Structure 1
Amino acid sequence: MCTPGDHFKIYFQVVRLWRIEDSAELYGISYWGSGYFGISENGNLTIATKKDSPYWIELVDIVGKLNEMNLKPPFLLRFPQLLHERLRDVHSAFLRSIGESGYGGTYHSAFPVKVNQRREVIEGLLHPGLPLIFGLEVGSKPELLLAIPYQAQYDVHLLCNGCKDDAYITLALKTIQFNKNTIIVIDDVSETRLIIDTAKELNVIPQIGIRTKLYSKGSGKWESSGGDTSKFGLNTTEILEVIKTLEDNEMLSSLNMLHFHIGSQITAVSHIQKAVKEAARIYVKLQTMGANIQYFDIGGGLGVNYDSSKTSSSSSINYTLQEYANNVVSTLKTICDEENVPYPTIISESGRAIAAHHSMLIINIPGRKNVKQYEEVTVSEKDSSIVHELHDCYHNINIKNYEEYYPAAIELKEELINLFNLGQLGLEEKSKGETLFWKICQCVTSFASKEDNTSEQICKLEKYLSNKYLGNFSIFQSIPDSWAIDQLFPILPIHRLNEKPTCKGTIIDLTCDSDGEINQFVDQTHTKELLELHHLNHDPYYLAITLIGAYQDTMGDYHNLFGAVNEVHITQKNNDNWYIKHIIPSDTTANVLNNMKYETTELLKTLNKALKEREQTTETENFIKLYEKELGKHTYLNA
């Protein structure tokens, strides 16, 4: 029988105590954390709002404070200072490269609103004490309407992309009457005539950009955003058509920006260099044709190292921020020098790199599923021979023969199921046989762990035996990209990091959907199907899902009617102290139902009417009160 005591008599290992450094390595914190995340001496996950700062905030302290305030998890924690920090990092990298290379132009940063349209994000980046944002990039008429008041207040540029109708172009051109800082980017040839006619009607001189459709592509999940079949942009023939139309209408001097975008999350630096080189050649030709190109907008693409591998995998990048900036600046400088043309101002729309780090989701784990812990099996003479064979296998398996016994056990289990399906076994015998098989499997994984056996067969068995940790959240509401495009986000406990995690498992959410499971996790060399987690005890167990500040906020949906979670904005002082700046309460069930066009007052009225037609009792009144009370609560578990 597989009992720890018997085997410890034969095999002896010196076991080193688990350290916080082991957890840091296991979860890859130093690789994806970018200097903002760490572990305290007592094993708690920490965050700092300045890179490599000696001052840290322990996330368990924030959770403890929120619990004291009677707020329930899950929590979306937002750290606005990290937006500022990341913006400074991007800005500094380009200015450093410009200074060291002798590039004669400068650099500006534009934030693409689509990355995160939340008010607190936009206003955080447009902080009056942080004049680093050159402008906001908008891709739709609603985003333009969002951005116009901020342009008026902060005098920032608006870069107008996306599909445009008369109203969009009229709005954009009218802002020029009050503010000269609006550039309308032509994404389709048909927009050219519309811009010209509307500008003449309004008697304004437009600022125009063109988005070129490069042959060069990005890499990773969004590779199709670039290339000559991409959704937006003009090919060479279309660019020449736009140039002629502008020239015929004496507006060629209004063409002051060249823009391209080869996709989000570019994983390999070589693709960046190739795209800049191709676009720079277009810039040179436009200048020689009489255009007045002042801005060279490289779009987005600056990636985030989600999976900690620092490779060209789809959730990582094989370059640093400084290498990205150096490649852009040096490539553009080389071609400008070759052709003896002016250096344009470089603009990047690095929204993902700026926003990703500033928010995270904290979830509690109410329990586990698929936990197989059975009592010992008593086999009697009356039991079938197949049960006896499994019993013998369980008692005789050991570290020397487990690789031989495991395939035999699989065959015995299949025979057990076949006999049951033929009506030759009872439920009790089937239960005994299944229990013995699971116990054999647990022995196999125990022995394999002692020998560091990571064969394909053992890995499959570990996955088969793994636990499913139930997370109090909805993947579809809070991290929709995890489901939609298999985006990886670093996930780890926020405490107990000075303890060795002894379990492996996946994370399932509250939805009644089999897609509501996270079963791919970050690793330093490749992704892994199971995450190392701790055995649950009587204390609450919390996990952090990090780097979710880009795209997730506005792409989530109400699957199974799970709504927005409690959102908390945290500000760090110039030391370890922090304070809660703002709290946005979670959606109540009533909020969510209203979003689905239900009137909760009507629901209550319908319920009251239906129940009153029956016998009115105290129980009826109590039920209606309970129903109304629950409508006012949040949509997640109170566990």
Structure 2
Amino acid sequence: MNITYRDLIDQTYYFPTEEFTLDNSHLLFHGIPLMELVEKYGSPLKFTYLPKISQNIGLAKKWFAAAMEKHQYHGKYYYCYCTKSSHFRYVLHEALKNDIHIETSSAFDIPIVERLKKEGKIKDDTYVICNGFKRAAYIENIARLINNGQRNCIPIIDNYEELSLLTEEIEDNFKVGIRIASEEEPKFEFYTSRLGIGYKDIVPFYENQIKDNDKVELRMLHFFINTGMRDNAYYWNELSKCLKVYVRLKKICPSLDSLNIGGGFPTKNSLAFEYDYEYMVDEIVNQINLACKEADVPVPHIFTEFGSFTVGESGGAIYQVLYQKQQNDREKWNMIDSSFITTLPDSWAINKRFIMLPINRWNDPYERVLLGGLTCDSDDYYNSQQDMNAIYLPKFHSEKPLYIGFFNTGAYQETIGGYGGLQHCLIPYPKHLLIDRDGEGHLMVTLFREQQESGEYLRILGYGTEGQDSGAQEELGNQQHEYATKEEIHKE
């Protein structure tokens, strides 16, 4: 007897999940009827489910509030969104509904902050944490933001020269933070992060450049490690070293009142994903509390900078399997109607895995396959799931179209993939939908951007368009700040 794809999932995972359910043989994601989207908008297709952004922010705030109450922690918690994960206006608008703050990483972030201030989304007392290695343009933009009244803009000092450059440009007194150059995980190719100032150099740096500078107030110590918040010896050891620096610095610097523990909450990459968020938050708050009590210093306010956790699980991509190629006795290649290199670049660049499930035909028999993209590049493929060294999908049938979805793709993929610009082999970027809910819970679908057209590539490459001189460049793309169309899917 043939076993269906649904049987495979049922015997392998706990299914359905919070995010994924079935309507007969069709997959639903947070109640979104994905096949209806495909039937109306076609494929390939990208979408962003905006309510998931607010949901994850709310969860993190709840976990920190509970931990602080449990441990009688006498400090505040501030949730920051790091904009590098996704700079899109719709992401920032959704995130800023939740009384949060933001973290920037380059000079070009600051005009976005200024635009959001003009729109009333960011206030003068919103924290703007400015990370990254700062050169002239970034310094000038930070100074302009502070000079124009952003009193809680805190540039994080990344190297010894930045403080003097900022002091020259900023008119009045200002606050700063210092980033710790943490030691990298043992398996890394180098020992210490290129970002920040070494553990042993932070106190001397404060004493030599900040302590007697009447214009500068040290308010924050910034700690971040590349692997993120993991329950392992490496993370807890680095946090412990950070706390030793904090308490030592606090004893000689009364103005220091905040500890930024960065980000690193993971996003779900498998139906078998397990991560105890509540435990990690509880233990982090507990460790900070204990270290400060032992040293007899006040506990700091805690800042986090969650990027992928904020926006990652809101995104998805849908492709159609166009054709199957039997290349040898064992390998069947399902060719999709787009490219992994261009639309999910992390799957190619760092071998990142996403949740992958068929959108339809769950009641059909399944087979083991490989997935190939449209580019003429041997690296344009996807060959395994996070929790198994294989991909299983309903059997290919030329007369029964098969659609597949990749989920929790909302962080980094657009910017790394060069959204709106050139794509590898000139594969066009897919149509993009925004999905929200109205006050009655109905799904609201908005077309954010159509699929790229050849004219956009011609203009970027300098060919111009028919009837247009190649030197007369038009504004690229459809910069749709006000979106094209809106409609409802009346489905709970």
TM score, norm. by length of structure 2: 0.87
Give per-residue Cα distances to partners, 1:574-622, cap 9 Å, x unaligned: 67742313331111011122222321237999xxxxxxxxxxxxxxxxx
Q: CA deviation at 1:547?
A: 1.1
- Alignment of 1:331 with 2:287, yes or no, is yes
Q: Which residue of 2 aligns with 1:591?
A: 456
> Alpha carbons of 1:475 and 1:345: their partners in 2 closer, same or farther (altered >3 Å)?
same
Give per-residue Cα distances to partners, 1:148-187, cap 9 Å, x unaligned: 3324532122111112123422321332231211001000
Q: Which residue of 2 aligns with 1:299?
A: 262
Letter in 2 for 1:149: R
Q: CA deviation at 1:64?
A: 2.2
Q: Which residue of 2 aligns with 1:570?
A: 435
Letter in 1 for 2:138: Y
CA contact (8 A) 1:504 1:531 kept: yes
Q: Which residue of 1 aligns with 2:116?
A: 150
Match 2:174 to one of 189, 194, 206: 206
Q: Which residue of 2 aligns with 1:141?
A: 107
Which secondary structure state, in structure 1, belongs to the residue aligned with residue 266 of structure 2?
coil
Letter in 2 for 1:36: E
Q: Which residue of 2 aligns with 1:521?
A: 385
- Alignment of 1:112 with 2:82, yes or no, is yes
> Alpha carbons of 1:240 and 1:541: their partners in 2 closer, same or farther (altered >3 Å)?
same
Q: Which residue of 1 aligns with 2:488?
A: none
Q: CA deviation at 1:260?
A: 1.5
> Alpha carbons of 1:24 and 1:576: their partners in 2 closer, same or farther (altered >3 Å)?
farther
Letter in 1 for 2:212: D
Q: Which residue of 1 aligns with 2:465?
A: 600
Q: Which residue of 2 aligns with 1:555?
A: 416
Q: Which residue of 2 aligns with 1:276?
A: 239
Match 2:133 to one of 139, 143, 163: 163
Letter in 2 for 1:545: F
Q: Which residue of 2 aligns with 1:57?
A: 32
Which secondary structure state, in structure 1, belongs to the residue aligned with residue 74 of structure 2?
coil
With 104-113 and 233-242 compared, the bigger mean Cα shift is at: 233-242
* Higher share of residues assigned helix: 1
- Alignment of 1:543 with 2:404, yes or no, is yes
Match 1:194 to one of 138, 145, 165: 165
Q: CA deviation at 1:207?
A: 0.8
Q: CA deviation at 1:267?
A: 4.7
Letter in 1 for 2:382: I
Which secondary structure state, in structure 2, belongs to the residue aligned with residue 363 of structure 1?
strand
CA contact (8 A) 1:173 1:182 kept: no
**How do 1:397-436 residues align onto structure 2 when only pairs under 5 Å count?**
none
Q: Which residue of 2 aligns with 1:322?
A: 278
- Alignment of 1:23 with 2:5, yes or no, is no
CA contact (8 A) 2:268 2:313 kept: no
CA contact (8 A) 2:106 2:132 kept: yes
**How do 1:369-384 residues align onto structure 2 when only pairs under 5 Å count?**
369-370=325-326
1-structure distance, mates of 2:287, 2:241: 10
> Alpha carbons of 1:218 and 1:111: their partners in 2 closer, same or farther (altered >3 Å)?
farther
Cα-Cα RMSD = 2.6
* Higher share of residues assigned strand: 2
Q: CA deviation at 1:287?
A: 0.8
Q: Which aligned segments of 4 or more residues in structure 1 are displaced greater than 3 angstroms?
A: 15-22, 24-30, 217-220, 264-272, 307-310, 572-577, 602-605
Q: Which residue of 2 aligns with 1:44?
A: 26
2-structure distance, mates of 1:25, 1:275: 40
CA contact (8 A) 1:20 1:39 kept: no
> Alpha carbons of 1:543 and 1:577: their partners in 2 closer, same or farther (altered >3 Å)?
same
Which secondary structure state, in structure 2, belongs to the residue aligned with residue 511 of structure 1?
coil
**Unpaired segments ≥5 residues, structure 1:** 1-14, 49-55, 67-71, 311-317, 373-463, 606-639
- Alignment of 1:496 with 2:352, yes or no, is no
- Alignment of 1:124 with 2:88, yes or no, is no
**Unpaired segments ≥5 residues, structure 2:** 471-492
Q: CA deviation at 1:331?
A: 0.8
Q: Which residue of 2 aligns with 1:248?
A: 212
CA contact (8 A) 1:300 1:350 kept: yes
Q: Which residue of 2 aligns with 1:510?
A: 374
2-structure distance, mates of 1:480, 1:339: 46
Letter in 1 for 2:374: L
> Alpha carbons of 1:92 and 1:24: their partners in 2 closer, same or farther (altered >3 Å)?
farther
Q: CA deviation at 1:486?
A: 0.7
> Alpha carbons of 1:286 and 1:565: their partners in 2 closer, same or farther (altered >3 Å)?
same
2-structure distance, mates of 1:219, 1:103: 33
Letter in 1 for 2:142: A
Letter in 2 for 1:47: F
Q: CA deviation at 1:138?
A: 0.9
> Alpha carbons of 1:115 and 1:184: their partners in 2 closer, same or farther (altered >3 Å)?
same
- Alignment of 1:185 with 2:156, yes or no, is yes
> Alpha carbons of 1:287 and 1:265: their partners in 2 closer, same or farther (altered >3 Å)?
closer
> Alpha carbons of 1:480 and 1:167: their partners in 2 closer, same or farther (altered >3 Å)?
closer
- Alignment of 1:532 with 2:393, yes or no, is yes
TM score, norm. by length of structure 1: 0.67
Give per-residue Cα distances to partners, 1:520-560, cap 9 Å, x unaligned: 2232xxx3133333232413210001111111011114100
Instruction: Work out the number of aligned pairs and report it.
Output: 461
Give per-residue Cα distances to partners, 1:466-496, cap 9 Å, x unaligned: 3100100111211001111111112110112
- Alignment of 1:356 with 2:221, yes or no, is no
- Alignment of 1:95 with 2:65, yes or no, is yes
Q: Which residue of 1 aligns with 2:475?
A: none
CA contact (8 A) 1:161 1:184 kept: yes
